[in-house]
Amino acid sequence: MYADYVFYVEAYGGENILPLDWPRISRHADAYLDRLTYNRMKNGAVVTDAVRMAACAVAEVMCRHEETQTANPAGIKSESVGGQSVTYEDVAALSERYEAELLEARRSLAAPVGPAALCGGVWMLTNTDCTLYLTEDGKAYRRVYCPACHWENTRGQNINKTGSTAVDSVRVFLPLSAADLAGVKGYLVHGNCAFYPSGDHPMRALVTQENVLTITSVSRYDFGSPAIRHWEVYAK
């Protein structure tokens, strides 16, 4: 087990799972984290307190889900006995809430251990931060800082009769929650850029710098589980 019951009670502060239930539920939580991390911890990666905290959080979500399933009879939406009536949560809604709670529970893996170092899936796609300067009309710009994204540099050249021209570009994956990027144009900077556009600080003061990239396309991928929905931004 990545976290024993003593850690669950004393360090995590848990009180919802009984001692007799802990071995069974924690095994399911550990297996869930192993799938996310491509078995890295089973193969020798250090099991940190961040991992143990995530294991406890996932175990609590699984415990609550078990209790909810027990309370919600399969295939029954509502029932009445005398003057008492009960409406049960829809199976699809229950499953969606369960996935959202699991996603929130495992977030503790990201910050302390480093997204790219430990996890596959969601956090393998976050290796740095970036700043976007977005506009809808080409005049007013808003600054958006994204603390966790996946940044890929691509180097290339166009060859012609007179020589070659560099066509270096980047591809950046950002979570859907970072900002609404639909229909926007603008610029992209690697890292946390301290520039704030205003009347006294127009965008032209920023775009002349070498590290500022022009956004060329934005695609939204909002299918699949909530964990993998993202924006894909190309810039050069």
Supply the Cα-derived Rg of the chain in whole angstroms.
24
What does the alpha-carbon distance between residue 71 and residue 63 come to, in Å, rounded to a whole number?
Answer: 13
Are residues 145 and 171 located together in one domain of the fold? Answer: yes
Are residues 90 and 147 located together in one domain of the fold? Answer: no
What does the alpha-carbon distance between residue 115 and residue 121 come to, in Å, rounded to a whole number?
Answer: 10
Domain boundary among 92, 118, 144: 118
| pTM for the predicted model, two decimal places | 0.49
Are residues 94 and 43 located together in one domain of the fold? Answer: yes
Number of domains in the chain: 2
Q: Per-residue b/e over 121-134, b at no fewer than 16 CB within 10 Å?
A: ebbbbbbebbbbbb
Are residues 204 and 172 located together in one domain of the fold? Answer: yes
What does the alpha-carbon distance between residue 152 and residue 125 come to, in Å, rounded to a whole number?
Answer: 10
- Contacts of range 151-155, beta carbons closer than 8 Å, 24 or more positions apart: 151/127, 151/190
Are residues 12 and 112 located together in one domain of the fold? Answer: yes
Most confident of the ranges 33-47, 90-104, 143-157: 143-157
Contact 112, 50 (CB under 8 A): yes
Q: Does 12 or 76 have the greater pLDDT score?
A: 12
Angle between helices 22-36 and 49-71 (to 10 degrees): 120
pLDDT per residue over 175-202, tens digit each?
Answer: 887 888 998 899 999 998 989 988 888 8
Instruction: Give Cα 116 to chain centroid, integer Å.
Output: 12
The pLDDT of residue 134: 95
Could you tell me the pLDDT band of residue 117, with boundaries at 50, 70 and 90? very low
Predicted confidence (pLDDT) at residue 160 exceeds the cutoff of 60:
no
Could you tell me the pLDDT band of residue 226, with boundaries at 50, 70 and 90? low
Domain boundary among 74, 95, 118: 118
Are residues 110 and 15 located together in one domain of the fold? Answer: yes
The pLDDT of residue 120: 40
Kindly state the tokens that stand for 53: 């905290």
Could you tell me the pLDDT band of residue 118, with boundaries at 50, 70 and 90? very low
Predicted confidence (pLDDT) at residue 203 exceeds the cutoff of 60:
yes
pLDDT per residue over 121-131, tens digit each?
Answer: 444 446 778 99
Q: Does 112 or 222 have the greater pLDDT score?
A: 222
Contact 78, 86 (CB under 8 A): yes
Domain boundary among 94, 118, 142: 118
Summary mean pLDDT of the chain: 78
Are residues 11 and 114 located together in one domain of the fold? Answer: yes
Are residues 114 and 200 located together in one domain of the fold? Answer: no
Burial of 94 (0-12, 13-18, 19+ CB in 10 A): middle
Are residues 110 and 134 located together in one domain of the fold? Answer: no
Q: Range of 17's domain?
A: 5-118
Are residues 221 and 149 located together in one domain of the fold? Answer: yes
Percent of the chain with pLDDT over 70: 72
Are residues 106 and 30 located together in one domain of the fold? Answer: yes
Are residues 27 and 87 located together in one domain of the fold? Answer: yes
